[in-house]
Every structure is written in structure tokens, then in C-alpha cells.
Structure 1
Amino acid sequence: MMIIAQVLAVVATLVIIVRLLTFRRRGCRHRPAVAFAAWGVIAISTATLERLLTGTTGAWWLTALLVAIAVLVIRAGGNLADLVRILRLHRRH
């Protein structure tokens, strides 16, 4: 069972990294703070991926968290500013 969790976590982490790296602004403003946050998410995701691939981490809670983050990043189109906006709107309702 733990192998399934690790594979799902690796896939979710790769989705997060690739989607953030392939984000195109298409007319959106450049926000240095959001760009730095995206860099941080990519760095943390890469470190998590390394730990998953070496077998030092692997739990269902981590898999669930990574899948949820991957879904949110995909939903926001890789735009962290939109992701924050989606989370704020969700919190208000």
C-alpha cells in the first residue's frame, strides 16, 4: 500500500513542479513576491520529490496534501496569484 502512496505523491509533485515551471503570464502583471513564492513552492516540491524517490518519506497524509495542492495549481492554471484568490474566495463563502 505504501508504494501506491509514494507513486501518487511523486506524480502529484511532478505535476506541481511542471505546471509552475510552464506558467505563461499572457498579459498578467509580474509580481515579484508571487514569483518568489512560486520559486519557493518549486524548491520545496523538488526537495520533497527527492525524499520520495529515496524512500525516506511516504505517508498517506503527505500524498493527500500533495494531490490537493496539485489540483489547486492545475485549477489556477499555474498562477499562484489566482490560487491565492481562489482560496480567499472559498474562505469567504
Structure 2
Amino acid sequence: MSVFTDIAILAAVISVFRILTFQRRGSRYRRGIALLAWLVSCAHVTVIVKLPTLDLPEPAAAGLALVLVTIAVLLLRAGGNLAHLFRWRH
């Protein structure tokens, strides 16, 4: 297992933890965003479970780690709220 694989797994764990600990605090419930959060969580759990058994080449592992770290940072900045990631800003 490479360093990039370890980073990708850690980023996936952080993302899942942040999604699971999100509190709405009075904001409205959006069914589509809730479904998206569930799908993102399932994808990240799949990465956590399957990635240690895969033998990815170094460039693929680095790309996956970059994507997962980016998602984790964005989720941490948004407080776990996926709706904030998809809001258009002008």
C-alpha cells in the first residue's frame, strides 16, 4: 500500500465522518441533497473498504487521493452541508 492510498483512505474517513455528524439546525430538508449525501457516503465507504485490497498504479492512487482530499476539505469548509457545495455563487 502506498502513501497515496493511505491519504485517500484518511480523506474518505474524514468525509464520511463529517457527513454523518452534520446537523441541520433549522434549515429545510432537501430530499435530493439527502440522497446525494447518502450516495457520497456509500461511495466513500466503498473506497475505504476496497482500496486497501487493490493494487493501484502510483498515478491513479495520487489522482484518487487528490480528489478525495479536495472533497474532504470542501466538506469541512461547508460544515458537512453538501447543499453549500452545489450553490451557485455570482
**80, 83, 86: which one aligns with 1:81:** 83
**53, 59, 62: which one aligns with 2:61:** 59
Matching residue's letter, 2:72: A
Count of matched residue pairs: 87
Give unpaired runs (5+ residues) of structure 2. Answer: none
2: CA distance, partners of 1:22 / 1:78 = 7
For residues 8-50 of structure 1, give each alpha carbon's deviation from its aligned partner in whole angstroms, at most 9, with x where no partner exists.
1111000110000110001110111100100000001111111
Q: Once superposed, what is the RMSD of the aligned Cα atoms?
A: 1.5
- 1:8 counterpart residue number: 7
Matching residue's letter, 1:73: L
Matching residue's letter, 1:55: L
2: CA distance, partners of 1:56 / 1:35 = 33
- 2:21 counterpart residue number: 22
> After the TM superposition, which of the residue ranges 35-44 and 56-65 deviates more from structure 2?
56-65
1: CA distance, partners of 2:16 / 2:55 = 20
Quote the offset at 1:56 in angstroms: 4.3
Identity %: 40
**66, 70, 87: which one aligns with 1:68:** 70
Q: TM-score under structure 1 normalisation?
A: 0.85
